[in-house]
Amino acid sequence: MLSAQQILQKYFGHFAKYGHKQIPNVSVVPKEDSTLLFVNSGMFPLVPYLMGEPHPLGKRLTNVQRSIRFEDMEEVGQDIRHTTAFHMIGNWSLGDYFKKEQLTWIYEFFVEVLRLDPNRLYATVFKGDAFVPRDEESIEILKRIFKKYGIDAKLGERTFEFGRESNWWQRGDAIGEPGGPDSEIFYWLLDRPPKPGENPETAEDHFLEIGNSVFMQYVKTKTGWEELPQKNVDFGGGLERIAMVVQGKQDIFLTDMFEPVIRAIEKLTNKPYESHKKEFRIIADHMRASVIIGMDGVIPSNKEQGYVLRRLLRRMFRFAHKLGAKSNIVTQLVEPTITMLEWLYPWWREKQKQIEEIFTEEEKRFNNVLRKVLPKVEQLATRLAGKKANTEELAKYAFNLYQSLGFPPEMFEEELEHQNIKFDKKAYQEAYKKLFEKHQEISRKGAEKKFKGGLAEHTETTIRYHTATHLLHAALYTLIDPNIHQKGSNITNERLRFDFPLHRDLTKEEIKKLGDWVNERIKEGLPVNFVILNKEEAKKIAKYIPGEEYPEKVKVYYIGHTLEDAISREFCGGPHVKNTKEIPPIEIYKYENLGGGVKRLYARFRKE
């Protein structure tokens, strides 16, 4: 039985055979040029290159990328496949090979390298619509591929065609956005063959998606979609899901990417997984996600990434409590989680103690929440003594406690029962569900607006802000401290934000000088270019983010007439303006001290 590590090694080896170079597994916290809250796909590091920037390692690339999708964390534990954190393996063609090569190579990997039974593999394709025709090319290629393995790939039996919701990818709806059909690969989980009518949409519990090849071949126009001159391939497959089918499991939590933590929970609680699957799955999944997020520098808080980490930890505390744990079970699971994934993240071990201390402190905070909440529940019980409670009132009460103090609604329900409050449990759960779904819908709309990120963010304005960010960085290390480096940045159509370490506060006079310096460089009309250098050579002359992983060859953007006399040299994927005169004058309108020696500047283009 192949381990996840061996599967990944075989994947890299297979695509290296076809000329692919491996790029790094980067932090889940985006550090520049994105309004994405967490890296949520393997595509994230490739965004500039999918838009046409040349990649320093060429046109054929591959990677494994840690990713977080937290929006539906409440679904974790309900099935055999849903997880908050996952590892996406991917390969890309940046204007090089296309459908024939991609589909042939990826099926070779699954059937000939991993030895999956081709009779259990099923494909989906785009069926076409009023704007773009059916993907006949992929249908014909798949027929030839399956024929090679002795299978007649009939439409509706082996290959299924679906519409835009299932088999079309596009980043956004704006004119100029790329998009295209995709072809998914599904693994049939049951021992019997599918019945007539069973397909990945009608029997989704029995078909497990293990890979998806996206073919970016169109661009959105005013009248519809037109063919792109440069066509890209973006393949992504969940390593955990692939491990599940390769290892012959019917449950992703019994693969070697989860099972060691499951067994550790059994030892700590003296309870079997089979009898408490939901609780075990939630704790194991959230522990992996929390360690990944924590190791990438996030600490629990009430904002952005820190808020997600806090929610994950508190859900773990709650479900550990349900399993009878008194305290500290979560912290004790850090070690087995690190051991389980140390082959992928050897640097985790040195940060283990720090993460354990952070998680322990958060548990103490949550216990303080309990001390505030429990008297409130007792007061409620006194008020409702002898009466049948109004379920909508209880649901609102529970929701307010969750919103204000982070107290889980299920724990509130348990306390109601403990206090002998009479209520219709099912009606209460329905009322709370409606409140929560309304809140979730609002949150999702907000998240889509605030954290959409990705290809749509590379507008003309954000590209200008991107280059302005390099100028602001240069101003900081030129005027304030030569050791200043980027801790993170965030760019939208309205402004740029730049984080940097500094042991003291900036004065108002210094902030004004920074803005003046940037505007002088803009007026100079300096050219913006890049060179591709070996990583170690580049580190000697250019700024980079300490602790970030970089490939052996990197792109260095410089602002100036030559690399030697440039006022700014930074590791960066791009894109940028051609000349600083394309950037409007800026104004620094806000300065913050974030604590821990980190400062933040906000700047926007001045209105003339």
In this predicted structure, the answer to whether residue 387 has a pLDDT above a threshold of 80 is no
Return the structure tokens found at 39: 């890296």
459-605 carries CATH number 3.90.76.10: no
Chain segment 464-492, per-residue pLDDT in tens: 999 999 999 999 999 999 989 888 788 87
The pLDDT of residue 455 is 42
Does 437 or 344 have the greater pLDDT score? 344
In this predicted structure, the answer to whether residue 573 has a pLDDT above a threshold of 70 is yes
d(C-alpha 500, C-alpha 138), whole Å: 48
Phi-psi region at 571: left, alpha or beta (left = phi > 0; alpha = psi -120 to 50): beta
The pLDDT of residue 454 is 40
Of 53-67, 111-125, 378-392, 482-496, minimum mean pLDDT range:
378-392
Q: What is the mean pLDDT of the chain?
A: 88
Which among 143, 152, 142 has a CA at the least distance from the CA of 213? Answer: 142
**Tally of residues, the chain:** 608
Q: Residue 487: helix, strand or coil by DSSP?
A: coil
For residue 352, the one-letter residue type is: Q
The pTM assigned to this predicted structure is 0.79
Which among 475, 339, 315 has a CA at the least distance from the CA of 407? Answer: 315
Partners of 87 in the β-ladder: 66
Which among 355, 244, 350 has a CA at the least distance from the CA of 2? Answer: 244
Displacement of CA 472 from its chain's centroid (Å):
28
Q: Do domains 4-249 and 459-605 have the same CATH topology?
A: no
Partners of 571 in the β-ladder: 556
Cβ-contact 434, 391 below 8 angstroms? no
Q: What is the DSSP letter of 214?
A: E
Rg for the chain (alpha carbons), in Å? 26
Please state, for a pLDDT cut of 70, what percent of the chain lies above it.
95
Chain segment 183-203, per-residue pLDDT in tens: 999 999 999 999 988 999 988
Does 91 or 70 have the greater pLDDT score? 91
In this predicted structure, the answer to whether residue 444 has a pLDDT above a threshold of 60 is no
Q: What is the DSSP letter of 590?
A: E
Strand 225-238 and strand 207-220: the pairing is antiparallel
d(C-alpha 299, C-alpha 305), whole Å: 8
Superfamily for domain range 4-249: Bira Bifunctional Protein; Domain 2 (3.30.930.10)
The pLDDT of residue 443 is 52
Give residue limits of the domains in the chain: 4-249, 258-374, 384-452, 459-605
Cβ-contact 573, 57 below 8 angstroms? no
The pLDDT of residue 180 is 92
d(C-alpha 410, C-alpha 396), whole Å: 13
Structure confidence at residue 452 as a pLDDT band (50, 70, 90) = very low
Return the structure tokens found at 410: 């299920």
Which among 517, 555, 562, 510 has a CA at the least distance from the CA of 537? Answer: 555
Return the structure tokens found at 149: 């393995």
The pLDDT of residue 458 is 62
Structure confidence at residue 111 as a pLDDT band (50, 70, 90) = very high
Rounded to 5°, angle at Cα 60 from 55 and 64: 90
Best mean pLDDT range from 68-82, 249-263, 298-312: 249-263
d(C-alpha 530, C-alpha 533), whole Å: 10
d(C-alpha 205, C-alpha 228), whole Å: 36
Q: Which regions of 70-223 does DSSP assign to beta strands (E)?
A: 85-94, 121-126, 159-162, 168-170, 178-188, 207-220
Average pLDDT on 530-558 reads 89
Which among 447, 456, 465 has a CA at the least distance from the CA of 606? Answer: 465
Which among 213, 206, 200, 211 has a CA at the least distance from the CA of 239? Answer: 211
Return the structure tokens found at 203: 């029997």
* Cis amide linkage into residue 575, ω under 30° from 0: yes
